[in-house]
Amino acid sequence: MAVMITDLCINCDSCVDECPATAIVGADDSPLENAEFTYVKPEKCIECVDSSVPKCFDACPTEGAIVWDMPYTAEFNTYYMDGNDNGTYKIRIHKKKGIFSPEAQPRPFRDTIDMNDRASHTPLDF
């Protein structure tokens, strides 16, 4: 990922159209079953590496609604695949290419974000 949206989200969907990677979908379009909140697809999020402030964070009016998860890279393949099994994520499966796992399709990530902050999903300021 990537960015993760927490249960503090008020589903305003202000972030959806701001994402340059079309990684964000409203709850009604979430791939998760019985989704209550706006959802970020970790297999698409590029962490806005070319922007000083992530676009979704910039658009969000709700403190703590947007936090960080681990980089979507091969090193965290098991983490994301476990998340897929426990319902945290639902990673896209391509008919021919298979699942868009971190190992198969790693995404760019912001190396300035501390791994401990990612692991604890600490809200960050920019």
Would you count residue 67 as binding ligand SF4 (CB under 6 A)?
A: no
- Which string of b and e fits 2-34 if b means at least 16 CB within 10 Å? bbbbeeebeeebbbbebbebebbbebeebeeee
CB-based burial label for 60 (10 Å; 0-12, 13-18, 19+): buried
Q: Pick from 54, 71, 83, 102: which binds ligand SF4 (CB under 6 A)?
A: 54
- In terms of CB distance, is 48 or 70 closer to ligand SF4? 48
Binding mask 7-36 for ligand SF4 (x = CB under 6 A): --xxxxxxx--xxxx-xx------------
Q: Pick from 4, 25, 65, 70: which binds ligand SF4 (CB under 6 A)?
A: 65
- In terms of CB distance, is 23 or 91 closer to ligand SF4? 23
